[in-house]
Chain A
Amino acid sequence: MKKRNLLTLIAGSAALALALTGCGSGGPGQTTGAATMWALTGDDTTVMKTSVETWNKEHSDLKIDFNAFAKDGFKPKLRTAIGAGEGPTFVFGWGGGVLADFVKAGQIEDLSDFVAENPEVLKRYIPSVLANGTVDGKTYAIPNNKLQPVVLYYNTAMFTDAGVTPPKTWDDLLDLVKTFNAKGIAPFSLGAQTKWPSLMWLQYLSDRIGGPEAFQAVLDGKPDAWSHPAIIEALTKIQQLVDAGGFINGFASVSSDSGADLALVHTGKAAMVLHGAWSYQTFKTDSPDFVKDGKLGYTTFPTVAGGVGDPKNIVGNPTNFWSISSKATQEQKKAALAYLADGLNNDAYVDDIIASGAVPVVQGVEAKLKSSDNADWLSFVYDMASNAPHFQLSWDQALPPAQGEAMLTNLEQIFLKKITPQEFATTMNATLGK
């Protein structure tokens, strides 16, 4: 009797609970009202926000609701929201494997018809950048911020003190490591705890040694693609650099999210750092005098003797993109497409990006760049990107998420010398095609 009562009670409660949770799913979704835009908090937040605010003033019938979220947890949040059917109209992205994943799941609107009807939209952008917003030849994403190649930053004051020049070759770089270590200065800063800064080293090295083909094989899921000699050699060189004391002590505890890796350079604790072009804005914000006094130097990644990759190749993020959710209402899509056509990357938008210290991904801005406050830097980035035969999207974005995650953790093990390049290749080969 007692037992049955208890069971009835549990069953009753469970049924009630089911009813209660059922109520929850009818909550505020994106199916009503204005188009929603979820941006990433960062150096471009102001540009995007200003653009949307201006747009809303001029288009009361096509309103956009703007929200910016902190970088930590942004991707899981976006993905979970999309999976639950509560995602925003404007989906922020990096292109590549993650975009392809969303497209495959039927979450992203095909923009092919839109760009066919409005040919002027695509004409605005640099073609090689647009390629990252396409999946199987169809346009799914439109660029929304700036060129983000990875460059080698250095502290010019420290270089002058040591009487040295920035490295042109890998051997130069190794010599510099010796010079700076002898002076008790860390040669390179590295935010290894955040993981992706370490990936920049592997990407550039493997590109310089073996060209983009080595990684392309991985993307294509060819068997044993990670065992490509160029990747193995790149990993070996990374471990040699670690052994030579190339990176600052405790690099594995340095976090890039807090900007500690860049702070090491502008506070004079480390001489160089390999980082994305977006960091120029961070340097400018965190240490305005350092940039103003010309102490921030920048150059391209050195060449590697015997490497077959074109030294003009670059890696990084071509840019970020807006995609349109296929689950948005007709009304929201209408507002979103109108914004993509007339609001995004219009003249004011482009001017704002340039003023913030970044290069927009639109064509024909050379004159504007040259007349801006940061003319040298902006022209450097623009030339670097426009002269590059190949612009490799960050591997963690290009690969499907599961493989990207495994790669970052195993690369961390390489930097920590917990595994050998061969072990890295074996572990990563097992993830191919998953």
Chain B
Amino acid sequence: MSTTTSPEKTRAEARAELPQGSARPASAPATRSARSTRAAGQSGPSGWFAAPALIMFSAFALLPLGGVIALSFTNWDGISDLSFSGLSSWTTVLTDPVTGNALVVTAKIMFFSYIVQAPISILLGAFVAGRQRYRALLAVFYFVPLLLSSAAIAIAFKALLDPNFGLGAGLGIPLLNQDWLGNADLALFVVIFVIAWQFIPFHTLIYQGAVRQIPASMYEAARIDGAGTIAQFFHITLPQLKYTIITSSTLMVVGSLTYFDLIFILTTGGPGYATRLLPLHMYLTGFKANDMGAASALGVILVVIGVSLALILQRLGGKDRRASQTEGA
């Protein structure tokens, strides 16, 4: 606690010292104070520290984004000359029922992924944060999916879910032997399940770290007040995890806009359009149907949705940023 307040104090002291400092320029402490005042008052560490990141960001995000916006007003099949086509790509995209369907599929995946992943990750995170041996052992198993790439996971699940040569057929369990990826009503939930399988370990890891940051003294106090395990979870653990929840939620929600590799390999957006979410629709439009103009328009829509969602989520947590989440606040 004292460390968080100390910069404030130093700044205040420095301000108070400043007139004296200017009166005694030879004094070494005063010079140091003056220098720190300039740094703190203006911009902290030099802005050029951000340059490497900004250069990369400009080269690989801003510049291509500009290109995509420009391309969305053209007609281009990838090999011939570009031709300017005004808003025609946009009208194609916005009037195409497949785009609407892709948005719905994306929203469904986002929503269901979130309501499946968030509670499980928090509970698992809180569970493996415990110091018991068996929990550490279980944690190792829970984190295994983190080691696999999306492509490997998709290929493995595709093989397991095969209706004729997969797990269900192999073990002869009728319940497991469904047309998992070929039934339009099931495929979406299979995709959501596989995504959850892949990403819950990652979020569990985040929550594990966050739960371990919660001071034990709070739990001791709660126990003295007579709170049981469940009450402790709801009154201490959850409120203390607020910022972690926001971070993890942002990653989950915005991340679900970028699911591509896994679904591309698992279902290629099928059956029909059942799992064709926006990023996949963009890829198929661009590289299978070779309509780069329409694909770029879809890309712009994707960026707008992603940035808006990230901003909204940050706002949700950022409004009362002053409310400290550290001990005793």
Question: Are A and B bound to each other?
Answer: yes
| Contact digits for B42-64, partner A, Cβ 8 Å, 1 yes 0 no | 11000110110011111110110
**Complex CA distance for A174 and B326, rounded to whole angstroms:** 73
Q: A9-B54, A80-B78 are in contact. Are A253 and B290 (CB under 8 A)?
A: no
Residues of chain A in range 175-204 having any CB-CB distance to chain B below 8 Å: 192-193, 195
Q: Is the CB of A250 within 8 A of B43?
A: no
Inter-chain contacts of A263 with B (CB < 8 A): 165
The B26-46 residues at the A interface (CB cut-off 8 A) are 42-43
- B271 contacts the other chain (CB 8 A): yes
Contact A253 B161 (CB under 8 A): yes
* Cα separation A104 to B268 with both chains bound (whole Å): 29
B79 contacts A79, C-beta separation under 8 Å: yes
In the complex, A264 Cα to B169 Cα: how many Å? Answer: 13
Q: Which of A13-21, A279-287, A362-370 lies at the interface?
A: A13-21
Are A252 and B162 in contact (CB-based, < 8 A)?
Answer: no
**Given the interface contacts A9-B48, A17-B63, A264-B164, does A405 sit within 8 Å of B183 by beta carbon?**
no
Nearest opposing residue in chain B for A20, CB measure: B59
Contact among B58, B163, B164, B291 for A402, CB-based, below 8 A:
B291
Q: Which residue of A lies closest to B63 (CB)?
A: A17
Closest to A248 in B: B164
Given known contacts A17-B63, A416-B271, is B162 in contact with A405 (CB within 8 Å)?
A: no
Q: Tell me how far the C-beta of A94 lies from the nearest C-beta in chain B, rounded to whole angstroms.
A: 15
B212 on interface, CB distance cutoff 8 Å: no
Between A76, A105, A263, A409, the greatest number of chain B beta carbons within 10 A of the residue's beta carbon is seen for A409
Q: How far is the CB of A426 from chain B (nearest CB, A)?
A: 12
For B180, the chain A residues whose CB sits under 8 A away are: 253
Chain A residues positioned under 8 Å from B55 (CB to CB): 13, 16-17, 20
* In the complex with contacts A401-B288, A413-B272, A255-B158 CB distance below 8 A: yes
**Min distance, Cβ B172 to any Cβ of chain A, angstroms:** 14
A66 within 8 A of B: no
With beta carbons under 8 angstroms apart, the residue of B60, B80, B184 that contacts A418 is: B184
Give how many A residues have a beta carbon under 8 Å from the other chain's beta carbons.
49
Instruction: Tell me, yes or no, whether A134 is within 8 Å of chain B by CB.
Output: no
Contact yes or no, A192 B182, CB < 8 A: yes
Question: Is A251 within 8 A of B63, CB to CB?
Answer: no
Q: Are B290 and A104 in contact (CB under 8 A)?
A: no
CB neighbours (8 Å) of A2 from chain B are 42-43
Answer whether A249 and B163 are a contact pair too, CB < 8 Å, given A18-B63, A401-B289, A418-B184. Answer: yes
Contact A249 B179 (CB under 8 A): yes
**Contacting pair A254 B272 (CB below 8 A):** no
Structural contact, B79 and A83, CB atoms closer than 8 A: yes
The answer to whether B51 touches A13, judged by C-beta atoms less than 8 angstroms apart, is yes
Residues of B within 8 A of A101 (CB): 77, 79, 290
Whether A32 is near chain B, meaning CB under 8 Å from some CB there, is no
Number of B residues, CB within 8 Å of A: 45
Known: A14-B58, A269-B164. Is A105-B290 also a contact (CB below 8 A)? Answer: no
User: Is A107's beta carbon under 8 Å from chain B?
Assistant: yes
Q: How far is the CA of A402 from the CA of B62 in the complex (A)?
A: 29
A406 at the A/B interface (Cβ < 8 Å)? yes
Query: B252 within 8 Å of A by Cβ?
Result: no
Q: A14–B289 contact, CB under 8 A?
A: no
Q: Does A338 contact B (CB under 8 A)?
A: no
Given A5-B43, A107-B79, A409-B273, CB of A193 within 8 Å of CB of B268: yes
Q: Is B209 at the interface (CB under 8 A from chain A)?
A: no
Complex: how many Å from CA A216 to CA B158?
Answer: 38
Nearest CB in chain B to that of A105: its residue? B80
Tell me if A162 counts as interface (CB < 8 A to partner B): no
| A252: chain B residues within 8 A (beta carbon) | 179, 181-183, 270-271
Q: CB of A260 within 8 A of chain B?
A: yes
A263 to B165, CA, bound (A): 9
Residue contacts A-B, CB under 8 angstroms, 24 given: A2-B42, A9-B50, A9-B54, A14-B62, A14-B63, A17-B56, A79-B290, A80-B287, A83-B78, A192-B182, A193-B270, A248-B163, A249-B164, A250-B178, A251-B182, A252-B179, A253-B179, A254-B163, A255-B158, A260-B165, A409-B270, A416-B184, A416-B272, A418-B272
A14-B63, A101-B77 provided; 9 other pairs, C-beta below 8 A? A13-B57, A14-B62, A17-B55, A79-B79, A80-B78, A249-B163, A250-B162, A253-B179, A413-B272
- Chain B residues at the A interface, C-beta cutoff of 8 Å: 42-43, 47-48, 50-51, 54-60, 62-63, 77-81, 158, 161-165, 178-184, 267-268, 270-273, 284, 287-291
